[in-house]
């Protein structure tokens, strides 16, 4: 058996999205590339998994599959159903998302969740998002080089790396390591009436404000840089341990951190 790296690819825009084929073409020179992506678009499905219905599988070509579930479903199935991968992958890559995933979008994004599902299972993971033209000639080179550097890098034991990468719409002026900024959407609800006379709603508006977070992902992309944000998997908040102890009450045992 070959010792070439094994790379698992997914996305949240669906198997037919341009972004995943750009990603696959960029990464094919690095090893054995297997795509397991959602059959249909799953943007903003966050880290949901499907447990209330069966998941259907379509094989589109050798090493190209789709699952009618979420990005997290795709990664889960690819990792634990042996037909998809020759072995445990060396790197899991999600994207390239059609549109950016900056600020609090990292919580809603299916693209980031696809990568996070792998990181939660102790694998190195990359999420790529791009607000501009997916045919841009520089895009594949950045994706290839970053994936290659992560593959060969020394990685901290027991701390799987999850990197969220966003590209600016034009050819980058450079690359910055950033942190997650703020991302404020218009808080919008649009009530409408369907042809049967029943009311329905659209929620979610445009981005109206990113706030001023020094070193943020959004600032880097706005200034024409590629943004690379390392995302933590540890959700416990050290800033609130005292408050949690207060709320827990006088008999609560404190956390030994």
Q: Is residue 43 involved in binding Mn ion (CB under 5 A)?
A: yes
User: How far is it, in rounded angstroms, from Cα 22 to Cα 13?
Assistant: 13
Beta strands in the chain (DSSP E): 6-10, 32-38, 57-61, 64-67, 91-98, 125-130, 162-167, 174-177, 184-185, 189-193, 199-203, 207-209, 225-230
User: How many residues bind Mn ion, per CB under 5 A?
Assistant: 4
The minimum distance between CB 163 and Mn ion, in angstroms, equals 18
Of the pair 97, 216, the CB lying nearest Mn ion is at 97
Piece in contact with Mn ion (CB under 5 A), picked from 4-12, 52-60, 71-79, 87-95: 4-12
Helical axes 139-152 vs 18-27, angle rounded to 10°: 50
Site string for Mn ion, 73-112 (x = CB under 5 A): ------------------------x---------------
Q: Give least dist CB 12 to Mn ion, A.
A: 4
Which CB, 31 or 38, lies closer to Mn ion? 38
Q: In whole angstroms, what separates CA 137 from the centre of its chain?
A: 22
Dihedrals phi, psi of 220, to nearest 5 degrees: -60, -50
Q: Which among 104, 94, 96, 151 has a CA at the least distance from the CA of 129?
A: 96
Choice between 5 and 104, CB closer to Mn ion: 104
Give yes or no for a contact between 188 and 136, defined as CB atoms under 8 angstroms apart: no
Q: How far is the CB of 115 from Mn ion (least distance, A)?
A: 13
Q: How far apart (Å, rounded) are the C-alpha atoms in residues 58 and 61?
A: 9
Residue number, 30 or 221, with CB nearest to Mn ion: 221
- Applying the rule CB under 5 A, the residues between 6 and 35 that interact with Mn ion are 12-13
Minimum gap (Å) between residue 250 Cβ and Mn ion: 48
Between 105 and 216, whose beta carbon lies closer to Mn ion? 105
- For residue 43, the minimal CB distance to Mn ion (Å) is 3
* Spatial contact of 118 and 79, defined as CB atoms under 8 Å apart: yes
**Which residue's Cβ has the minimum distance to Mn ion?**
43
Task: Decide whether 12 or 63 has the Cβ nearer to Mn ion.
Answer: 12
Residues that bind Mn ion (CB under 5 A): 12-13, 43, 97
């Amino acid at each position: 058996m070959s010792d070439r790296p094994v790379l698992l690819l997914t996305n949240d825009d669906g198997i037919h999205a341009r972004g995943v084929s750009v990603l696959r073409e960029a990464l094919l020179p690095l090893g054995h590339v297997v795509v397991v992506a959602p059959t249909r678009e799953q943007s903003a499905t966050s880290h949901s998994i499907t447990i209330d219905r069966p998941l259907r599988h379509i094989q589109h070509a050798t090493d190209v599959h789709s699952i009618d579930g979420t990005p997290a479903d795709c990664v889960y199935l690819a990792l634990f159903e042996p037909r998809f991968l020759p072995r445990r992958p060396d790197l899991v890559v999600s994207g390239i998302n059609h549109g950016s995933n900056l600020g609090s979008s990292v919580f809603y994004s299916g693209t980031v969740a696809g990568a996070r599902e792998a990181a939660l299972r102790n694998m190195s993971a990359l999420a790529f998002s791009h607000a501009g033209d997916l045919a841009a000639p520089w895009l594949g080179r950045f994706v290839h080089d970053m994936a290659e550097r992560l593959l060969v890098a020394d990685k901290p034991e027991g701390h799987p790396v999850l990197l969220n990468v966003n590209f600016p719409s034009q050819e980058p002026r450079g690359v910055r390591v950033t942190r997650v900024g703020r991302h404020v959407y218009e808080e919008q609800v649009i009530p409408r009436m369907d042809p049967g006379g029943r009311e329905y709603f659209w929620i979610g508006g445009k981005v109206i404000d990113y706030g001023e977070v020094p070193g943020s992902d959004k600032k880097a992309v706005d200034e024409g840089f590629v943004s690379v944000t390392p995302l933590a998997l540890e959700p416990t908040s050290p800033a609130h341990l005292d408050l949690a102890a207060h709320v827990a009450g006088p008999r609560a045992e404190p956390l030994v951190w």
